[in-house]
Structure 1
């Protein structure tokens, strides 16, 4: 049978030396971890907001296929600061999603946050759609 030794002062001292108390009191550690978590959460919310609302965004409002070699596109560009010029890349795609035409559209600085730009894209073969791929400011 296993007998459990009574706990002696010597055994208690060995345990105390082997497992010393933390240098930081528990309430202070909890407060530090909580503050760090709040800072991290604040940064996450800030980063999500900043990157969810880009400086410039565009989308194709309408397009009309004019034939086997041309497509007319109306591009709607939205800028947070309309006084900054923007450049957007518009791609015409064929029925198999291959790029058949591409153009970079310069949107000059203005006073309206929402701007429409009409463009014609010359294509290699018949296009079936047009897509705004990317926009940059400046």
Structure 2
């Protein structure tokens, strides 16, 4: 990544910071609350802008297009929400203008996504009858 000019810091420092961020302990509730600003057009619960509305929209678009790795297209089609999965088994979904939901459950499928976690998010989206397409 450094050879392509994607960062200028020492590689060791970047890897150390990345690993520290990946090791943050958080519950599903913590993660869902942390993502509420994305569902609220960039504003937190006190209506303070964390991001501009356009930036929140861009983050959600990235989540939708690449948040579940190689399964992103299938996930966008079957669930219809911006989703980010993690290799620890966590799955976070943003329900625009409504809220955020998170699940956690290993094991992962061959594409690196929680099987039960994605199913749980799919069931929540279906029960709420909310997608970015409706």
Structure 2-normalised TM-score?
0.32
- Structure with more helix by fraction: 2
Q: Which structure has the greater CA radius of gyration?
A: 1
- Structure with more strand by fraction: 1
Structure 1-normalised TM-score?
0.31
